[in-house]
Amino acid sequence: MKKKILFIEDESVLQKTFGEILEQEGYEMISALDGEIGLRLVKEKSPDLILLDLILPKVNGFSVLKKIKEDKETKDIPVIVLTNLEGLEDIDKVLKMGATTYLVKANYSLEEVMAKIKKALG
């Protein structure tokens, strides 16, 4: 069984790039272009890992994370936050809410992000 990764991110360029790489690595990627679709797909597809942007249309990443962690069925899914917000308050807030890792996009290379994904999937 391929492991499923849900990518909640409004930049379609990133959806495309990550989709292709994750597929090559042997994962199945499900893409969600806004927070609302993201939340729906978390329920429907029960992914093994969630990659989450914070600035999202409709429902922002903070609320998405909150809802995932409040729901008994979804609270154990690891969430990697992938964003360009880098305020210390945001990082603290997100980690306290139960995110596994917080990655500032500008500071990580593609390979480093992949390594974090593999690590989170165990």
Partner 1 sequence: MVFKEVLEQLNVHAQCKKYGLSLWQCPQFLFLVMGIIIIISTLLIYAIGRRYIDNPQMVALVVLSITTILFIIAAIITRSFERLAEASRMKSEFVSIVSHQLRSPISNLKWTIEFLMSGRISSVTGKQLEYLKILKENSDRMGELVSDLLTVSRIEQGKLPLKKRKIYFEELVSEAIRGLEIFARASNVEIKFTPEKNLPQIFSDPSQLKLIVGNLLDNAIRYIPGKKPGVKRKNRVTITLKQENNNLRFEVKDTGVGIPESDQKYVFQKFFRSSNVMRHQTEGSGLGLYIVKSIIKKLGGKINFSSQEGIGSTFWFTLPILK
Contacting residues toward partner 1, per CB under 8 A:
11, 13-14, 17, 20-21, 24, 84, 87-89, 105-106, 109-111
Name 31's Cβ contacts closer than 8 Å, sequence gap at least 6: 6, 7, 9, 15, 19
Shortest spacing between CB 23 and partner 1, in angstroms: 10
Angle ∠(69,72,78) on CA atoms, nearest 5: 45
Q: 19 or 47: whose CB is closer to partner 1?
A: 19
Shortest spacing between CB 108 and partner 1, in angstroms: 9
Q: 76 or 111: whose CB is closer to partner 1?
A: 111
Shortest spacing between CB 18 and partner 1, in angstroms: 8
Q: How far apart are CA 47 and CA 63, in angstroms?
A: 18
Element (H, E) at 32: strand 27-32
Q: What are phi and psi of 80, to 5 degrees?
A: -100, 120
Shortest spacing between CB 46 and partner 1, in angstroms: 27
Q: 20 or 73: whose CB is closer to partner 1?
A: 20
Q: 21 or 97: whose CB is closer to partner 1?
A: 21
Q: How far apart are CA 21 and CA 103, in angstroms?
A: 18
